[in-house]
Amino acid sequence: MLEDDFGRGISGVRVSLTDRCNFDCVYCHNEGLGDTRGPMDPQEPMLRDDLEEIIARTPGSMEVSMTTNGTFLPGRAGDLKAAGLDRVNVSQDALDPEDFAEITKAGAFDAVMDGVRAAVEAGLAPVKINMVVFEPTAGYVPEMVDFVAENPGLQLQLIEYMPEIAGHPEWAIDIGRVHDWLDDRARRTETREMHDRKRYYLDSGVSERSDVPDVGDAAGETDVETGMVEIVDPVENEDFCANCGRVRVTHEGYLKGCLNRNDDLQSMGEMTGPEIRETFREVVDNRVPYYGEYLVENEEGNYVINEKYIEAPGADV
């Protein structure tokens, strides 16, 4: 396993296949900020007609997962599984169609629910439900917990809102309160090595909602433990960065060592296989933890660029 100079082994590569999306989610944009550098570009990989072919060409020894909004899973989930897809994350921020439409700017709630069912039926479990947690969605966390606790094959991934990407700092919430709420109700907890992520396992019945959607018996027999909730909380989290083992490939064909930086891009261009491997090693060698190394706390407790990286081309926060 390749390691960077901070002892972080590379355990995965995240590949972006397109910059297109059929949703217009409010947390994927930063209009009005005069800034178009945000790395969380809206993207829906299932807009690629050749997705199954791309997956089929992936080495069989690799676990292949995908994040999607789910609208195209009905009719394709089985083919994706046959091509070699192991599991899928589906973005779903609310269980009420109107609330969902307000966040995604798309009236596709039923299609997403059908996509979740199709993924479970195709054997892509655990199907992780991705939910961005910010002011408009924070109140939905209990019912989302019940949703995954009552439906075998589903898990919940709560993703901390990043105002530096989408703006609206007033939407950010104290993610520590979410941790505390889950910890108080969990039957057990564990911590993943990746990003030092905390996982909570809860029973249903934590919300007041009595009509939590049902994916039916689609899961069949599954060894996925019900009620798993994982928090992805990267904002100003040095432990998260110290345990990051991912390199990214942008849809333009650039390698990058950190989601939050664009001054570390390496183009693969028309490279040969050996040249790509060498460039990959260079990217790994140049990786540094974003919080705690590239950004450090000043005397006021604010994160600023470490002086030794000030001269890096394009250095900015």
pLDDT band per the 50, 70, 90 thresholds, residue 36: very low
Predicted local distance difference test score (pLDDT) of residue 233: 96
Query: Tell me: the pLDDT tens digits for 184-212?
Result: 999 999 999 999 999 999 999 999 988 89
Q: Strands across the sheet with 246-249, in order?
A: 12-15, 246-249, 254-256, 266-267
Domain segments of the chain as ranges:
12-239, 252-309
Distance, CA of 187 to CA of 183 (rounded, Å): 9
pLDDT digit string (tens) for 263-287?
Answer: 889 999 989 999 999 999 999 999 9
Is 160 or 220 the better-scoring residue by pLDDT? 160
Predicted local confidence at residue 246, as pLDDT? 94
* pLDDT grade for 33, boundaries at 50, 70 and 90: very low
Q: Which residue has the higher pLDDT, 213 or 293?
A: 293
Share of the chain above pLDDT 70, in %: 91
Which percentage of the chain shows pLDDT scores above 90? 78
H or E segment and range at residue 83: helix 77-83
Helix 97-104 and helix 109-121, axial crossing angle in degrees, nearest 10: 100
Please name which of 267, 254, 243 lies closest in space to residue 9, comparing C-alpha atoms.
243
pLDDT confidence of 223, banded at 50, 70, 90? confident
Position of tokens 């907890």?
Answer: 189
Mean pLDDT calculated for residue range 170-182: 97
Any idea what the Cα angle at residue 261 is, between residues 256 and 266, rounded to 5°?
30
Model-level pTM?
0.91
Residue 199 neighbours by CB under 8 Å, 6+ apart: 189, 190, 191, 192, 228, 229, 230
* Residue 175 CA: distances (Å) to CA of 184, 227, 300: 15, 19, 21
pLDDT higher than 80, residue 219: no
Q: β-strand 228-232 against 198-201: which pairing, if any?
A: antiparallel
pLDDT of 144 reads 97
Does the CA dihedral 74-80-86-92 come out positive or negative? negative
Residue 90, pLDDT above cutoff 70: yes
The pLDDT assigned to 127 comes to: 96
pLDDT band at 29 (very low <50, low <70, confident <90, very high): low
Domain 12-239 bears CATH identifier 3.20.20.70: yes
Average pLDDT value over all residues in the chain: 90
**pLDDT at position 34, please?**
35
